[in-house]
């Protein structure tokens, strides 16, 4: 029998709501706060599972929508589940598929039953319901699974956001009824946009359902970073202190440390991998656009303060050459660097909380890798 899921809080910051902890899952311990690389189709783009383990990744996110369409959860289940299928021995989390479905604005229809949509691959019709979402995620065998929710865009009016909350709450109860309470642990999701009244109301509704963890959805969907950070600072502390708090789809390194200060434990975002594939590297001195001609003869590593394989081994000149010539190795080396940067940021955040210097750490991150300008 799999060990029960639980969060163990090891240290808290006296000057903020930041906490350092440990999540116990069927596939190992996860140190928090944690950044989860996004493995949309059972793979983190451009790197292998051995790379992820070497980087220290302990929890990877896979995408329900994409895996249900291709290769299908039945096939994955028949081959031993997603862990075995992708040869990943550590913890896995799946999203509900809701965000991807709702992003198909011209291809879907929302009803109380669920969402009818047409596949972006071949136009085939599908119906994704709360029950179906839970069944798919359990068939995949993820350690952590998400309730099916409606994620309205940032420019949605109050009436639309409120309607989404009502539907999300109703769908949450259906997800709970469908959940087998097996090895997969179900998280509820709080919506509400930037409306703090609606966010507070939805926190009460979602947290009235006793679940092992809770997430904040509907951020980083078009609002400004400042507005998002201010809202998270108000809402995250309202979630139960003895359960993991997950901020979905966020964000830059500065976004992450501000959310940690608000008490958030878990993050996922495509930013580090997507930026890597477009030649943008995160460094301790800001963003570095490696494709720029200024780096053609630069013998320095991408980040002289970084200990990743890419920075230990290769120069900016070589990385630029690979990117300019379209070599696949450019994507791997850039991705290794950006993922190391994010994972190391969380490692340093955990250490700062444990050592009682988290406020100084936040100021350091803001000063060194804020959005002020490019790396030199």
Which residues are part of the catalytic machinery?
95, 268
Look at phi and psi of residue 192 and say left if phi exceeds 0, alpha if psi is from -120 to 50, else beta. Answer: left
Which of these, 368, 352, 315, 363, lies nearest to 337 by C-alpha position? 315
Q: Please name the residues in contact with 218: beta carbons below 8 A apart, sequence gap of 6 or more.
A: 151, 152, 191, 192, 193
Per the CB < 8 A criterion, the answer to whether 37 and 57 are in contact is yes
Per the CB < 8 A criterion, the answer to whether 255 and 228 are in contact is yes
Q: How far apart are CA 353 and CA 22, in angstroms?
A: 13
Q: Please name the residues in contact with 14: beta carbons below 8 A apart, sequence gap of 6 or more.
A: 356
Q: How far apart are CA 148 and CA 215, in angstroms?
A: 12
Q: How far apart are CA 34 and CA 260, in angstroms?
A: 10
Which of these, 61, 85, 59, lies nearest to 72 by C-alpha position? 85
Query: CA distances (Å), 342 to each of 30, 37, 99, 108, 275, in order?
Result: 15, 9, 23, 34, 12
Which of these, 270, 291, 259, 292, lies nearest to 338 by C-alpha position? 270
Per the CB < 8 A criterion, the answer to whether 267 and 256 are in contact is yes
Per the CB < 8 A criterion, the answer to whether 169 and 202 are in contact is yes
């Amino acid at each position: 029998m799999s060990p029960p899921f639980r969060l163990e809080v090891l240290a808290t910051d006296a000057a903020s709501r930041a906490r350092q902890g440990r999540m116990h899952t069927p596939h190992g311990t996860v140190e928090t706060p944690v950044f989860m690389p996004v493995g949309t189709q059972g793979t983190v783009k451009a790197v292998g599972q051995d790379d992820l383990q070497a980087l220290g990744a302990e929890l990877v996110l896979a995408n329900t929508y994409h895996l249900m369409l291709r290769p299908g959860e039945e096939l994955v289940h028949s081959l031993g589940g997603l862990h075995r299928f992708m040869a990943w021995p550590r913890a896995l989390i799946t999203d509900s598929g809701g965000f991807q479905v709702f992003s198909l604005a011209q291809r879907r229809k929302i009803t109380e039953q669920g969402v009818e949509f047409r596949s972006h691959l071949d136009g085939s019709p599908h119906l994704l319901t709360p029950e179906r979402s839970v069944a798919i995620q359990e068939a995949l065998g993820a350690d952590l699974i998400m309730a099916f929710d409606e994620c309205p865009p940032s420019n949605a009016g109050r009436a639309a956001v409120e309607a989404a909350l009502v539907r999300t709450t109703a769908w949450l109860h259906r997800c709970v009824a469908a959940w087998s309470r097996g090895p997969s642990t179900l998280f509820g999701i709080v919506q509400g946009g930037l409306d703090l009244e609606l966010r507070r109301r939805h926190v009460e509704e979602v947290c009235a359902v006793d679940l092992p963890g809770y997430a904040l959805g509907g951020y980083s969907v078009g609002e400004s970073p400042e507005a998002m950070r201010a809202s998270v600072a108000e809402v995250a502390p309202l979630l139960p202190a003895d359960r993991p708090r997950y901020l979905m789809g966020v964000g830059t390194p500065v976004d992450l440390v501000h959310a940690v200060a608000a008490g958030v434990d878990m993050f996922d975002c495509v930013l580090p991998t997507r930026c890597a594939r477009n030649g943008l590297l995160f460094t301790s001195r800001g963003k570095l656009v490696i494709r720029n001609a200024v780096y053609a003869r630069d013998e320095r590593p991408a980040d002289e303060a970084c200990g990743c394989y890419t920075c230990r081994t290769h120069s900016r000149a070589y990385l630029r050459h690979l990117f300019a010539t379209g070599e696949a190795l450019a994507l791997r080396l850039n991705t290794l660097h950006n993922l190391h940067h994010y994972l190391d940021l969380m490692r340093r955040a955990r250490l700062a909380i444990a050592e009682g210097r988290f406020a100084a750490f936040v100021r350091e991150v803001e000063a060194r890798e804020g959005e002020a300008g490019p790396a030199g």
